[in-house]
Amino acid sequence: MADMADKMTNGEETILREGERLDDTGFHGYRLIQKPEEFCYGVDAVLLADFAARNVGPEDGICDLGTGTGIVPLILAHKTESRRIVGVEIQRDSWDRACRMTALNGLEDRLTFLWGDVADIAAPERSPKGLVPGSFRLVTSNPPYMAGPSGLKSENEAKRIARHETTAGLREFAAAAARLLDDRGEFCLVHRPSRLADILESCRAVRLEPKELRLVAPRLEQKPNILLLRCRKNGGAELKVLPTLAVYGDDGRYSREIMEIYERISPGSRD
């Protein structure tokens, strides 16, 4: 018990390891295990899950690449009826938190997390077991935003891997998504506008055609700092640019649309 601390929550015994905390996501009472000194999710993960949740049925498999502690699959379990949501994570500690989170929320029948490298998925001889090519209707990703050699490196190894491309870059994430998706399946990701040219090039190289782009800004009058992109495998060439989404209103609080995202349940979902 040297590194374990037993916690009691609503009469249920949950196990948090040293330095971890239990956070309420605001979605259906689902809780997430996080370690603040390593990495905690932000609004970009919430935006991605909501953006991707459209037109997902019970039999449509979802795979989240670089899933961290599993926040995107957890929100998608709330916003969709999908019975098969898989997350892939390279960091063993984050993967372990995602697995414990699944049991904590009673979602073992819908969520599965695999410990593996996204770079291996495109290579049949190294791909993690449980990832059948062409078996997913939706692939999502909130990948590291910084290219391998660029940006300031964090002294914290977990944060560095989460923020900087290490073994897998944009090309590997796109190639992995293309291999996992069925024909006309969709790849949705959140990233930085400064990487847009690289993202479009990487996706088109593997026949993931960009279909919808939405920029996100702190406020409408400010420069966008997040992008949401939807690509379709073997789709036709036509990109629709959606209205810019503002995270905050003039009063400094979350905008009406952001609040709707937290409150919204996609049509046909479980709740």
Q: Is residue 165 over pLDDT 80?
A: no
Return the beta strands (E) in 38-116 as ranges: 62-65, 85-89, 111-115
> In whole angstroms, what is the distance from residue 203 CA to residue 126 CA?
22
The reported pLDDT for the residue numbered 126 is 73
Residues 6+ apart with CB under 8 A from 162: 38, 39, 68, 91, 144
Pairing relation of β-strands 4-9 and 12-17?
antiparallel
Q: What is the pLDDT of residue 263?
A: 86
Question: Which of 1-15, 62-76, 147-161, 216-230 is predicted least confidently?
Answer: 1-15
Question: Considering the chain, what is the average pLDDT of its residues?
Answer: 87
Sorted by sequence, the CB contacts under 8 Å of residue 193 that are 6+ apart come out as 215, 224, 225, 226, 227
> What local confidence, expressed as pLDDT, does residue 166 receive?
46
pLDDT at 162 (0 to 100): 40
Is-contact 22 9, C-beta < 8 A? yes
* Between 51 and 1, the higher pLDDT residue: 51
Dihedral sign (CA 76, 264, 212, 57): positive
Mind listing the pLDDT tens digit for each residue in 207-236? Answer: 999 999 999 999 999 999 999 999 999 999
Q: Specify the amino acid at residue 186.
A: E
Cα maximum dimension of the chain: 57
Burial class, 256, CB count within 10 angstroms (exposed 0-12 / middle 13-18 / buried 19+): exposed
Tokens of 91: 């960091």
Structure tokens at 57: 């049925």
CATH 1.20.1250.20 for the 41-263 domain, yes or no: no
- Of 66, 26, 75, 68, whose CA–CA distance to 47 is shortest? 75
Question: How far is Cα of residue 45 from the mean position of the Cα atoms in its chain?
Answer: 6
Give the mean model confidence (pLDDT) for residues 142-147.
78
User: pLDDT over 90 for what percent of the chain?
Assistant: 75
Q: What is the mean predicted confidence (pLDDT) over 50-74? A: 96
Residue predicted with more confidence, 238 or 164: 238
Evaluate whether 258 touches 229 at the Cβ level (below 8 Å): no
For the whole model, what pTM was predicted?
0.86
As a whole number, mean pLDDT of residues 151-157 equals 50
Tell me: the pLDDT tens digits for 6-60? 444 443 445 799 999 999 999 999 999 999 998 899 999 999 999 999 989 999 9
Residue the block writes with tokens 């290579």: 123
Could you tell me the residue ranges of all domains in the chain? 41-263
pLDDT at 146 over 70: no
DSSP state of 105: T
- Give the whole-number percent of the chain exceeding pLDDT 70: 83
